[in-house]
């Protein structure tokens, strides 16, 4: 289906603003995912706005869930001594894992190891 430039900009705005993903837009407007992405880029270029923040992936990996870490001084001040020790231990463990080239998702028997580089770990 052909869309006018104004319609393409509306589709692009909806994708850029996060109202729908490019896959949802592709299904709704009966276009390919690549075309939906192009409409979003057209919207960005016409309005001179930068790409959205936080959309980059590390080595093509999807976002992984991790334990929340304290980000500010207020968060650290509100923690007990035991919580601070646990947060420090988890930070050191995460740092060591990243140096070795992997992330861990899940806990216990449901733990999965995710390599963060393109090279084989062997």
Q: What are the residue boundaries of the structural domains of the chain, listed by start? A: 5-47, 57-122
Hey, is 33 helix, strand or coil?
helix
Q: Tell me the per-residue pLDDT of 99-112, one tens digit each, with 9 for 90 and over.
A: 888 888 877 788 88
Q: What share of the chain is helix, strand, coil (3-state, %, to 5)?
A: 50, 5, 40
pLDDT in tens, the chain (122 residues): 689 999 999 999 999 988 889 899 999 999 999 999 999 999 999 999 888 775 544 444 444 444 555 567 778 788 888 888 888 888 898 888 888 888 888 777 888 888 877 665 55
The strand pairing partners of 67, in sequence order, are: none
Residue 113 phi/psi, 5-degree rounding, is -105, 125
pTM: 0.45
């Amino acid at each position: 289906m052909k869309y006018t430039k104004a319609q393409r900009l509306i589709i692009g705005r909806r994708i850029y603003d996060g109202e729908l993903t490019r896959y949802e837009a592709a299904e709704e407007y009966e276009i390919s995912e690549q075309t939906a992405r192009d409409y979003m880029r057209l919207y960005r270029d016409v309005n001179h706005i930068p790409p959205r923040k936080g959309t980059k992936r590390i080595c093509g990996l999807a976002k992984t869930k991790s334990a929340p870490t304290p980000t500010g001084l207020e968060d650290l001040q509100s923690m007990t001594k035991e919580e601070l020790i646990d947060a420090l231990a988890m930070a050191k463990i995460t740092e060591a894992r990243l140096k070795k080239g992997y992330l861990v998702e899940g806990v216990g028997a449901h733990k999965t190891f995710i390599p963060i580089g393109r090279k084989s770990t062997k």
